[in-house]
Amino acid sequence: MEGLSEMIELWPISNAMMEFVKAFVDEDLATVVGIAYWYSYASLFATLIIAASEFAGYWDLAEAWQNFLIFVLCPVILLALNCAGVKVSTL
């Protein structure tokens, strides 16, 4: 990871892992890395929804409110956070 942070410091780009693999190893392997990243984040998203459902059960809300919080509001908030871009600035 230290080498990766040094590479990002020298070559600040978005999608760094896939771009580094594409530039220094192979373009097909970069595609596989991208799919693996997508799969890991999709699994994490499902895990966060399950954790939110357990957390919502703490307050003893009505079943309708729990369903709204878990299946509508939490995914919308998580998608909004994930869609917010991170700006990479160069010095």
Instruction: Write down the pLDDT at residue 13.
Output: 78
Instruction: Write down the pLDDT at residue 39.
Output: 92
| 60 alpha-carbon distance from chain centroid | 30
Query: Is 70 exceeded by the pLDDT of residue 81?
Result: yes
Q: What phi and psi values does residue 80 have, to the nearest 5 degrees?
A: -65, -40
Distance CA 14, CA 86 (A): 8
Query: What is the mean predicted confidence (pLDDT) over 22-31?
Result: 88
**pLDDT per residue as tens digits for the range 35-73:** 998 899 889 888 887 787 777 777 777 777 777 777 788
Contacts for 17 with CB less than 8 Å, ≥ 6 apart: 4, 33, 37
Cα atoms in the 13 Å half-sphere on the side-chain side of 46: 5
The pTM score is 0.56
Distance CA 77, CA 73 (A): 6
